[in-house]
Amino acid sequence: EAYQNEDPSLGNELLKSMIVHYDFLTNEEEKSIFNEIEPYLKRMRYQFDHWDDAIHGYRETERLQWNKDNKKVIDRVRSLVFPPSVAQLNHVHILDLDKKGYIKPHIDAVRFCGDTIAGLSLLTDSVMRLVHDKHTHLYADVLLKQRSLYIMNGSARYDYKHEILSNEHSKFDGKVVFKDRRVSVICRNEPRPEDRD
Ligand code: AKG
């Protein structure tokens, strides 16, 4: 709706650059990935009180090695998202948001990652809001269902801030979306050469 009186290319660009695959993971795959990372996450404490952090109520880690079954799933994400010519970050980013946690609007630093961000959502549904960085009245809410994969690139990645709404504000299409603890498993590619230094 917000796009009604705008240049239609803005809305089209967003639709093309933020794609969600529902039921990307089976229940078993979700459990298996969770079981591999939970022992590491459990040892850490959720961070709540850094006022300048983009994320509130989180703990995070990175993973390089996966067991055989989970490696297959991660490879399935990588091969769907990245053509063979694209240099990927080897580490997978694991972000664990407490039930009370949320991600404030931000654009991922171009120095640290490239044009594509692909994230699996484990344990809960949540709502991601994309707000145009320059035309802030333009925004879109995206339902990130449990076990879905989102692929954000191009315009959605560079022109929009993204956030994960807190439980208090978590609504989609007028309906409350209960956001419980959320673990995301995120694959990225190398920064563009012009952004590296
Ligand atoms: C980020 O790492 O920049 C995020 O916003 C993570 C989004 C997610 O948890 O899927």
**pLDDT, tens only, 33-67:** 999 999 999 999 999 977 778 999 999 999 999 99
Share of the chain above pLDDT 70, in %: 96
Contacts of 42 (CB under 8 A, 6+ apart): none
Q: What are phi and psi of 192, to 5 degrees?
A: -65, 145
Cα of 184 vs centre of ligand 1, distance in Å, is 7
Low-confidence residues in the chain, pLDDT < 50:
none
Query: Which of the listed residues 55, 127, 163 should we mutate to test ligand 1's pocket, taking the one with most ligand atoms within 8 A of CB?
Result: 55
Query: Which of the listed residues 96, 107, 117 should we mutate to test ligand 1's pocket, taking the one with most ligand atoms within 8 A of CB?
Result: 117
With vertex at residue 82, the alpha carbon angle to CA 80 and CA 83, rounded to the nearest 5 degrees, is 100
For 121, the token pair is 């959502």
Q: Is the CB of 95 under 6 A from ligand 1?
A: yes
For 115, the token pair is 């044009």
Question: Which DSSP helix (H) or strand (E) runs through 153?
Answer: strand 149-153
Question: Full-prediction pTM beyond 0.90?
Answer: yes
Q: Using the atom order of ligand 1, give the atom closest to the CA of residue 182.
A: 9
